[in-house]
Amino acid sequence: MTDVATRTADPATDPDEARVREAALRLVADHPPEKTSPEEFLGAQFDAGLAWISFREGHGGLGVAPRLAKVVQEVLRGTGAPNAVARNPIGHGMGAPTVYTHGSDAQRERYLRPLFTGEEVWCQMFSEPGAGSDVASLSTRAVLDGEEWIVNGQKVWTTVAHLSRWGMLVARTDPDQPKHKGLTYFVVDMHAPGVEVRPLFQITGEAEFNEVYFTDVRIPDAERLGEVGEGWRVSITTLMNERVSIGGGIAARGTGMIEIAVRAWIEAGRPGGAARDELMKLWARSEVLRLTNWRASQNRAVGTPGPEGSIGKSAGALLNQAITTYAVGVTGAGGMLLPDGGYPMARPRRMAMDVSSTQKAFLRCRANTIEGGTTEIMKNILAERVLGLPGDVRVDKERPWTDVPR
């Protein structure tokens, strides 16, 4: 049976697909991955319009449907080509769509190419100690001073902030407006005076996340994304792309997290009975999610995706936890032990979730139902925007932010 996730259209009836495939083949021929540095290869990929193919030409794209990104993946798979997402996950999945959708031409030209090559890593600074699931209640302030904004406040759970050159920042610019209306969105230089990054160590022993402090940090008004007071609208672009980035990946059949469970089952001696039955259930769930994400990608909007990302994010988080729980369980008593040598501590270039060992994957996946929006928030989004159910009670929606108790 043909795998629906890899089936390709007839180039004679889909000229865009033929164009993308030809460009990808030419990229590999002209820049053999084994002889080309990652930065050079990814730069050439960007220039060929194969970075984000739905973006306009000149901005890393070809102006074609997002679904055709799978053609690029098919051509590059197995060639040894560098993975742009792994080099800059926050920038690639969230920063680029936000800059492309809301930035000026000057900002697109300045940021997109080095973002894709991984030469300039990005982070996202929304959450605060008092504003997690309710991001719009944030209190970090930005005050206009001539042509600059002065920022003071604190952000938390900022992934790879310690490695980042640029950050996406939402700050309150008008506290007398309701919480959603008084926000403005900025690109901030993470090396600017007054920016302090402190690591947060996780249960795995690593420090992917950080808290970031701003003390009289000056941001030029030219680094604002969107209009003053339109920060929430710009943030939605970032958040919806974040959910797609986290939960919308389309791995090849049998790869990804389910591979951990299969590996653990094999290492345990391929037990039958309940252990085998549970593995088959997890395999089926993984395949359903993979194909659901593939179908969703066919209709994904450029810029601000629809709520389909919340489906993949919510289902994927719970599935990851179930898979790693199974993997640790089938390992037996050894699943309670540290792997040989323990866990590596915060690595200088650690970008994404490390699942190098079954035990570490189990611990790291506990965060999946929290990061990028909690599962409860994802359910609210799906209930309201997909099922059309009444929204949550929001007693502070129209009240000035200054009047809301915190």
User: Average pLDDT over the chain, rounded to whole?
Assistant: 87
Do 212 and 134 share a domain, yes or no? yes
Of the pLDDT bands very low, low, confident and very high (cuts 50, 70, 90), residue 247 is: low
For the stretch 64-87, pLDDT in tens is: 988 898 899 899 988 999 999 889
Between CA 337 and CA 101 the distance in angstroms is 47
More confident residue, 102 or 393: 102
The residue with greater pLDDT, 352 or 329, is: 329
Q: Which helix (H) or strand (E) holds 234?
A: helix 231-247
206 among known catalytic residues: no
- Residues 252 and 328 both lie in one domain: yes
**Amino acid 10: pLDDT:** 52
* Same-domain pairing of 161 and 283: no
Structure pTM? 0.84
Q: What percent of the chain has pLDDT over 70?
A: 87
Confidence of residue 349 (pLDDT cuts 50, 70, 90): very low
Residues 126 and 101 in one domain: no
Q: For residue 344, what is the domain's CATH number?
A: 1.20.140.10
- Residue 291: CB atoms within 10 A of its CB come to 15
- Whether 6 is covered by a domain: the verdict is no
| Residue 293: inside a domain | yes
Q: Please indicate, yes or no, if residue 394 is contained in any of the structural domains.
A: no
**Residues 248 and 361 both lie in one domain:** yes
**Please, which pLDDT band fits residue 343 given cuts at 50, 70 and 90?**
low
Residue 86 counted as domain residue: yes
pLDDT of the residue at 6: 39
The answer to which of 113-117, 150-154, 204-208, 328-332 has the lowest mean pLDDT is 204-208
Q: Is 62 inside any structural domain?
A: yes
Are residues 376 and 250 part of one domain? yes
CATH number at 96 reads 1.10.540.10
Instruction: Answer yes or no: do 152 and 271 share one domain.
Output: no
Mean pLDDT value across residues 119-139: 93
Q: Which of 230, 242, 376, 398 is catalytic?
A: 242
Q: CA-based Rg of the chain, rounded to a whole angstrom?
A: 22
182 neighbors 229 (Cβ within 8 angstroms): yes
What is the pLDDT at residue 404? 86
Q: Check whether 367 has a pLDDT greater than 70.
A: yes
* pLDDT for residue 346: 45
Same domain? 37 vs 104: yes
Based on the fold, state whether residues 314 and 224 are members of the same structural domain. no
Count of Cβ atoms closer than 10 Å to residue 3 Cβ: 11
Residue 346's φ and ψ, nearest 5 degrees, are: -55, 115
What DSSP character marks residue 241? H
Q: Name which residue leads in pLDDT, 65 or 192.
A: 192
In a domain, 372, yes or no: yes
Which of 178, 202, 229 corresponds to the end of one domain?
A: 229
What does residue 193 show for φ and ψ, rounded to 5 degrees?
-60, 135
Residue where a domain stops, chosen among 197, 229, 261: 229
Compute the Cα dihedral for 87, 92, 93, 98 and give only its sign: positive
CA 277 – CA 192 distance, rounded (Å):
55
CB under 8 Å to 132, separation ≥6 — which residues?
157
Helix-, strand-, coil-residue percentages of the chain, each rounded to 5: 45, 15, 40
Mean pLDDT in residue range 181-196: 98
Q: Which domain holds residue 88?
A: 15-117
Q: How many structural domains compose the chain?
A: 3
Q: How many CA atoms lie within 13 A of 203 on its CB side?
A: 9
Looking at the fold, whether 101 and 209 belong to one and the same domain comes out as: no
Q: How far apart are CA 317 and CA 223, in angstroms?
A: 34
